[in-house]
Structure 1
Amino acid sequence: MSTPVITPELVSLDQDFGHSSHEVISHLANLVASAGRTETPDTLLADAKAREDKSPTGFRGRIAIPHCRTTAVTEPTLAFARLAPAADFGGPDGDADLVFLIAAPEGSGKAHLKILSTLARALVKEEFSAALRSASTKDEVVALVTEVLESSPKKAAATPVAEATEGKTRIVAITACPTGIAHTYMAADSLTQAAAKRDDIDIEVETQGSSAVTPLAAAVIKNADAVIFATDVGVKDRERFAGKPVIESGVKRAINEPEKMLDEAVAAAKNPNAHRVSGTAAASSGEEEAGKLGWGKRIQQAVMTGVSYMIPFVAAGGLLLALGFLFGGYDMASGWKEIATGYSLTNLPGHTVPVEGADVTFERAGLMLYLGAVFFAIGQAAMGFIVAALSGYIAYALAGRPGIAPGFAGGAIAVMLGAGFIGGLVTGILAGLIAMWISSWKVPRIIASLMPVVIIPLVTSLAVGLLMFLLLGRPLAAIMTGLQDWLTSMSGSSAVLLGIILGLMMCFDLGGPVNKAAYLFATAGLSTGDEASMKVMAAVMAAGMVPPIAMSLATFARKQLFTPAEQENGKSSWLLGLSFISEGAIPFAAADPFRVIPSMMLGGAATGAISMALGAGSRAPHGGLFVFFAINPFWAWLLAIVVGSLISAVAVIAFKQFWPNKALQAA
């Protein structure tokens, strides 16, 4: 590679970077910037922090390896800190004193990711970490890391499972983490090395990471006595292991407790009543069973999966609707369907168009009106899928592919009955749980092949449909109608109160779960198309823009109150704010949460209240200032952002001025 992965400028020895993981990651991101490896350390920090918030990256040996794929770097980059004192990364044996920040370029090739995974595997070895602790110079650290990266990773010896020695327990394992860079391979090596020390186990591991995946051979799986799934994401082709005793956990448990997981797998192999992998991608459940996720966590993960698949429909559909209004005018909703289907490029509409037997006059005519109607029609089609997508992918997260069809069908029924996104949440969970239950049935082999493609989707769709039509549909529709009526009736103090609440939520964790909950409330309501929902969307987007803009203003106004790194972040965070990327304020909040977050919440609450009070509405779910054409009245919305940003900027300056952060100043 032309650019070294690590250089002495990317190494810090025996420094105090604070006690929290976010503080350490912030310092490491600034180290990467100082070495000239990124021009946007705030983006790197936001991406690394988002990964850290999913699951702490500390593990056995008092080592931490925060990592992410990010647009902030163009070459694979490693920053290393030997901390004094150590910092809390959620490790099982205390605070970490060795921390690697791994930054992989977004969309980087497999060769890059293989290099980074090699380092992760080396960190599992005690001799490597001991050498890092005893290194006396930065050059020595670079030499140690470079030697590891340039040598081929050596796997601990293990007899192939397909040819296992008689009397040994044959185990196969899958490891996978969300980014597929570090923990995937560290977990694999921890299991393999632990097994190599024992005479009663043979193991083979399939790493489902970002580097090339080599699937376990069919013969290996067939001969296996037990399976270990150490993953934070779904197992690919889970059906291959149907009928095998299984132990499941998050990927970090395999790194921290490999011996314990191997013991559990041996016990499961000898227990005829042990939990087994079902014939579908549905995972097992039961909080009392060792190594498995609880019901609450499983359903929460499933809902977030459904939401993540739904958001692209909302974003694409909402922006297309906004473009429809931009091109065709704000009276587009009166006859978009007739214009889009009844006219063409060779037969453009005039100002007057027959709509349902009556002539409707539009402000615009010709090509602009026609294109506006086409954009609007495409947007409506995309928006029409959001409840079905939400429901379908919740069911998919719970039950795998057999859950998709009943989940989508349930979502469509929810729309038909007027239950909206609330109905979609319910039908998705129902479809997933019912499909999971049916997949656990023990059926003759001749029927088993029909289960995932015919029987489970058929029976589950029927069950969900009957439950919705006979029991749940009308009550859920009444709840949805009540919510819409409440939004529509909002005025005066009630609208302002809702704006305050939404503003507080948007600025509480700057892109975290609370922020996302407020955003989803707004986007789900936006699908109804009523004016009250558009006001909620405008308030949410405006409040989410405040923190990065406010911090940029504060760094310009009182530079001396901020560190050099924060001053650099302030030069670009205003643009992130204008684009509605709340995460632009994360570097500031991570370094000084007790002063920054309350200040941001204060401005966000003011922005939400002003936006709602002045009746600003947004037809677009994202885009910030750049979708100004979809916001009306724009002046009111802009005023809310300006006032809120000024309040937050003044508040954070006051906090830092009269309640200085001595630890930050010392740094």
Structure 2
Amino acid sequence: MRIVAVTACPTGIAHTYMAAEALEQAAKAAGHEIQVETQGSAGSTPLSTTDIQAADAVIFAVDVGVQDRERFDGKPRVDATVKQAINGAAGLLDRAIAAAEQRSDEPAPASAPTDTDPDSPANTGFGTRLRQWLMTGVSYVIPFVAAGGLLIALSFAIGGYDITEAPPVTEQFDAGSLAGWAALANQVGTIAFDFLVPVLAGFIAFAMADRPAIAPGFVGGAIAVVVGAGFLGGLVAGFLAGAVVGALRKIAVPKALAGVMPVLVLPLVGTAVVGTLMFVVIGQPIAAVTLGLTDWLNGLAGVNAALIGLIVGTMIAFDAGGPVNKAAYTFAVGGLSTGSDTALELMAAVMAAGMVPPLALALAVTVRAKLFSPSERESARSAWLLGASFITEGVIPFAAADPLRVLPSIMLGSATTGALSMTFGSTLRAPHGGIFVLPLVGGPLLYLLAIAIGMVVSAGAVILSKQIGRVTTTTTTATPAVAQ
């Protein structure tokens, strides 16, 4: 069989390529041909039209919307998450082959449904598609948060926290002083942050209803900012724009109008409908909810802050880059747009907690290598770098091999780190980067201490649980002495 596949995760860093490698290895072992398009942060080389046409089936192993998905219309398709591809690539291949064989036994359909049609039959449920739409928006937001957050943090490091009071650089800019450059970095970073909510809404809408939904989504997100609905308003605007444009696309129009629908009619009508609803109907209620949430976050202190850190730390480690992990991460990234101290503390806690699992397993392997398999000992080498880079997925080889011991252990360590980071009051504006953005952390020494303590807690728990399991296995399998 000839299979083509697309892999994509929200950050486009680890899961995307791990899923591609797992599919390639499974196909090679089963004697099939496969070509994988990785839609990651490093860019992608699209599959050629010839390769797609020659394919017997398609696999989408994605947690976000697939770019240019209409290329695959009419092909038998299997939908899955990247985690399912990493942990069960052989099963996905079997499903793809079964779908191809079933299609070959059936008459060709008059018209194949497209992925952008909300009602098209698919192997994924509505909940999975909803998460993919959300993660698509988040994946496009991350570069803006990274650029804006790092520039703002750099401006504070150079010019102090009163740099926000500097006059606009269009009116006054001193290229010969550090304060001038700090003001420039702060104002550029602030403008980058202004795009967060519109970009989120625009690309959620894009994931739902393709390019015609981008304009309604962006405009709806911008209105959310204007009325004070913030990040939550952007989410609603994005889903609303996608639903409106998706519904409009179902309307049958004369062929003479079909050509202008995507570029004129759909964006126009979609923008008018979404804009009206955001301004007149739902914008203000969402703004009230957003204000309440912001006040609640800002009011967290002491035990409450530590409890929030413990919860998000546990979520980050729960599925090592899966939906629960991404929910905690999205919550933290969304808070960055408020700029409040508590939101910055939450971002620091989430990143610290996400670094702990790979680092802890690497430490455990270093301390007690005999408790781990040769492949796990090999994985530990890269886990050091992955953990330091805030790529929680580095723990997956260990969690997949021994989930009952590893997962509770890393949740314990990450929860500890999250609670300690919030208690210490460490802050961070950058949504990614791990140890490499340490100069931008508020309270870096205590931040490192929180990470180190979590590492030790998780590593100790893993070693202890494996030791107990090993002792139990040895005791139960020992052969009793035979009396002579």
TM-score (norm: length of structure 1): 0.60
The correspondence of residues 187-586 of structure 1 with structure 2, limited to 5 A, is 210-214=46-50, 230=58, 232=60, 234=66, 236=68, 238=70, 249-250=77-78, 255-262=97-104, 266=108, 268-269=109-110, 283-286=116-119, 294-335=125-166, 338-344=167-173, 347-348=174-175, 366-586=176-396
Indicate the larger mover: 389-398 or 558-567: 558-567
Cα distance in 2 for residues equivalent to 1:265 and 1:379: 56
Cα distance in 2 for residues equivalent to 1:630 and 1:418: 28
Cα distance in 2 for residues equivalent to 1:247 and 1:574: 41
Letter in 2 for 1:66: L
Shift of 1:650: 1.4
* C-alpha distance 294-101 of structure 1, shift in aligned 2 (>3 A): same
Structure 1, residues 44-99: CA drift from partner, whole Å, max 9, x if none?
Answer: 996665458xxxxxxxxxxxx623xxxxxxxxxxx6xxxxxxxxxxxxxxxxxx76
Unaligned runs of 5+ in 1: 1-43, 53-64, 68-78, 80-97, 103-118, 124-175, 181-207, 218-227, 349-365
Shift of 1:480: 1.1
Tell me which structure has the larger Cα radius of gyration: 1
The answer on whether the counterparts of 2:76 and 2:100 sit within 8 Å (CA) in structure 1 is no
Shift of 1:536: 0.3
Structure 1, residues 333-371: CA drift from partner, whole Å, max 9, x if none?
Answer: 232xx2532233xx45xxxxxxxxxxxxxxxxx521111
Cα distance in 2 for residues equivalent to 1:384 and 1:661: 57
Shift of 1:495: 0.9
Cα distance in 2 for residues equivalent to 1:541 and 1:498: 14
Q: Look up the match of 1:66.
A: 23
The correspondence of residues 32-71 of structure 1 with structure 2, limited to 5 A, is 49-51=18-20, 66-67=23-24
SS in 1 for 2:28: strand
Shift of 1:393: 0.9
Shift of 1:596: 1.5
The answer on whether the counterparts of 1:499 and 1:612 sit within 8 Å (CA) in structure 2 is yes
Cα distance in 2 for residues equivalent to 1:306 and 1:416: 20
Cα distance in 2 for residues equivalent to 1:50 and 1:660: 31
SS in 2 for 1:491: coil
SS in 1 for 2:161: coil
Letter in 2 for 1:213: T
* C-alpha distance 377-101 of structure 1, shift in aligned 2 (>3 A): farther
SS in 2 for 1:618: coil
Q: Look up the match of 1:590.
A: 400
The answer on whether the counterparts of 1:46 and 1:587 sit within 8 Å (CA) in structure 2 is no
Letter in 1 for 2:118: S
Cα distance in 2 for residues equivalent to 1:235 and 1:577: 29
Q: Look up the match of 1:13.
A: none
Q: Per chain length, whose mean CA-contact separation is higher, i.e. which structure has more relative contact order (CA < 8 Å, sep 6+)? A: 2
Letter in 2 for 1:285: P
The answer on whether the counterparts of 2:76 and 2:96 sit within 8 Å (CA) in structure 1 is no
* C-alpha distance 247-294 of structure 1, shift in aligned 2 (>3 A): farther
The answer on whether the counterparts of 1:247 and 1:291 sit within 8 Å (CA) in structure 2 is no
In the alignment, does 2:454 pair up with 1:627? Answer: no
Cα distance in 1 for residues equivalent to 2:170 and 2:333: 28
* C-alpha distance 653-473 of structure 1, shift in aligned 2 (>3 A): same
The answer on whether the counterparts of 2:406 and 2:462 sit within 8 Å (CA) in structure 1 is yes
Cα distance in 2 for residues equivalent to 1:632 and 1:45: 27
The answer on whether the counterparts of 1:66 and 1:101 sit within 8 Å (CA) in structure 2 is no
Cα distance in 2 for residues equivalent to 1:560 and 1:434: 58
In the alignment, does 2:31 pair up with 1:100? Answer: no
Shift of 1:574: 2.8
Cα distance in 2 for residues equivalent to 1:625 and 1:239: 40
* C-alpha distance 641-420 of structure 1, shift in aligned 2 (>3 A): same
Shift of 1:504: 0.4
Cα distance in 2 for residues equivalent to 1:489 and 1:290: 46
The correspondence of residues 154-173 of structure 1 with structure 2, limited to 5 A, is none
Shift of 1:249: 4.0
Shift of 1:658: 1.6
Letter in 1 for 2:144: F
Letter in 2 for 1:333: T
Shift of 1:399: 1.2
Cα distance in 2 for residues equivalent to 1:310 and 1:566: 34
TM-score (norm: length of structure 2): 0.81
* C-alpha distance 255-499 of structure 1, shift in aligned 2 (>3 A): same
The answer on whether the counterparts of 2:57 and 2:99 sit within 8 Å (CA) in structure 1 is no
* C-alpha distance 401-508 of structure 1, shift in aligned 2 (>3 A): same
* C-alpha distance 215-451 of structure 1, shift in aligned 2 (>3 A): farther
Shift of 1:389: 0.9
Cα distance in 1 for residues equivalent to 2:118 and 2:45: 24
* C-alpha distance 265-297 of structure 1, shift in aligned 2 (>3 A): farther
Indicate the larger mover: 605-614 or 290-299: 290-299
The answer on whether the counterparts of 1:285 and 1:294 sit within 8 Å (CA) in structure 2 is no
SS in 2 for 1:100: helix
The answer on whether the counterparts of 2:311 and 2:415 sit within 8 Å (CA) in structure 1 is yes
Cα distance in 1 for residues equivalent to 2:443 and 2:52: 59
* C-alpha distance 442-592 of structure 1, shift in aligned 2 (>3 A): same
Shift of 1:568: 3.7
Q: Look up the match of 1:3.
A: none
CA RMSD, Structure 1 to Structure 2 (Å): 3.4
The answer on whether the counterparts of 1:247 and 1:264 sit within 8 Å (CA) in structure 2 is no
Unaligned runs of 5+ in 2: 1-12, 80-92, 478-484
The answer on whether the counterparts of 1:248 and 1:292 sit within 8 Å (CA) in structure 2 is no
Letter in 2 for 1:385: F
Letter in 1 for 2:48: A
Cα distance in 2 for residues equivalent to 1:508 and 1:295: 23
Letter in 1 for 2:214: I
* C-alpha distance 262-476 of structure 1, shift in aligned 2 (>3 A): farther
Structure 1, residues 116-143: CA drift from partner, whole Å, max 9, x if none?
Answer: xxx743x8xxxxxxxxxxxxxxxxxxxx
Q: Look up the match of 2:455.
A: 645
Higher strand fraction: Structure 1 or Structure 2?
1
Give percent identity, aligned residues only: 45
* C-alpha distance 300-264 of structure 1, shift in aligned 2 (>3 A): farther
The answer on whether the counterparts of 1:509 and 1:515 sit within 8 Å (CA) in structure 2 is yes
* C-alpha distance 406-264 of structure 1, shift in aligned 2 (>3 A): farther
Cα distance in 1 for residues equivalent to 2:244 and 2:132: 17
The correspondence of residues 4-153 of structure 1 with structure 2, limited to 5 A, is 49-51=18-20, 66-67=23-24, 100=28, 120-121=32-33
SS in 2 for 1:342: coil
Q: Look up the match of 2:90.
A: none
Cα distance in 1 for residues equivalent to 2:198 and 2:161: 28
Cα distance in 2 for residues equivalent to 1:614 and 1:262: 62
* C-alpha distance 66-327 of structure 1, shift in aligned 2 (>3 A): same
* C-alpha distance 437-648 of structure 1, shift in aligned 2 (>3 A): same
The answer on whether the counterparts of 1:177 and 1:209 sit within 8 Å (CA) in structure 2 is no
Cα distance in 1 for residues equivalent to 2:52 and 2:361: 51
* C-alpha distance 447-311 of structure 1, shift in aligned 2 (>3 A): same
* C-alpha distance 577-283 of structure 1, shift in aligned 2 (>3 A): closer
